[in-house]
Amino acid sequence: MAAQSALASPATPRNCSADRCEPLQPTLIQIEVPIAEVARKPTLGRAIEYCAELAGYDYGKELETAMRQHGCKCDETQLSRWKKGEEGIKVDKFFALMDVCGNDAPLLWMLHARGWDLASLRRRESETERENRLLREEVTALRRALRAEA
């Protein structure tokens, strides 16, 4: 399981106000999340810290700044309480955190903690990804047919 990882495919990022989050521009960041490393984290707070670390953010002021730049209001003390497990995290801010960091490490940690096999999980295919896959398959079939005729 050590060599396996999950590719974080950006979901719809959110723009958090005081009460709720609105969609942000999708991030182009796609960070490999080592499954074995996520599974080693003892708490959700450590998984959230790891999420920031994978994105290259220092957990604190640097992450707070990145979140604010993306319209999600939070501060260092709130981040600290999340890390320590002293405060719950609203789902919209949770999604925004993962979107800003470009990975789903905390979500993967939660799935692992609930007994899910992370190696067997896969993302749903978006409409664009599906169309791309079908076109590639069609091109491959056409190339095969052309070779057979030659």
Q: Is residue 132 part of a domain?
A: no
Instruction: Evaluate whether residue 147 is within a structural domain.
Output: no
Q: What is the pLDDT of residue 132?
A: 92
Q: Is residue 26 part of a domain?
A: yes
Q: How do 21-23 and 14-16 pair as beta strands?
A: antiparallel
Residue 101 to residue 117: CA distance in whole angstroms: 23
The pLDDT of residue 122: 81
- Per the domain annotation, does 145 fall within a domain? no
Question: What residues contact 138, with CB distance under 8 A and at least 6 apart?
Answer: none
Q: How would you write the pLDDT of the chain (150 residues) with one tens digit per residue?
A: 334 555 444 444 444 454 455 544 445 556 788 899 999 999 999 999 999 999 999 888 899 999 998 888 888 888 888 888 888 888 989 999 999 999 999 999 999 999 999 888 887 888 888 999 999 999 999 999 999 987
Q: What is the pTM of this model?
A: 0.69
Query: How do strand 14-16 and strand 32-34 relate by DSSP bridges?
Result: unpaired
- Using an 8 Å Cβ cutoff, are 102 and 51 in contact? no
- The pLDDT, as a whole number, for residue 146 is 92
Residue 80 lies in a domain: yes
Q: Is residue 136 part of a domain?
A: no
Q: How many domains does the chain have?
A: 1
Instruction: CATH number of the domain at 95, please.
Output: 1.10.260.40
Please report whether residue 137 resides in a domain.
no
Query: Has residue 138 been placed in a domain?
Result: no
Residue 18: what residue type?
A
Range of the domain at 91: 5-122
Residue 70 is predicted with a pLDDT of: 85
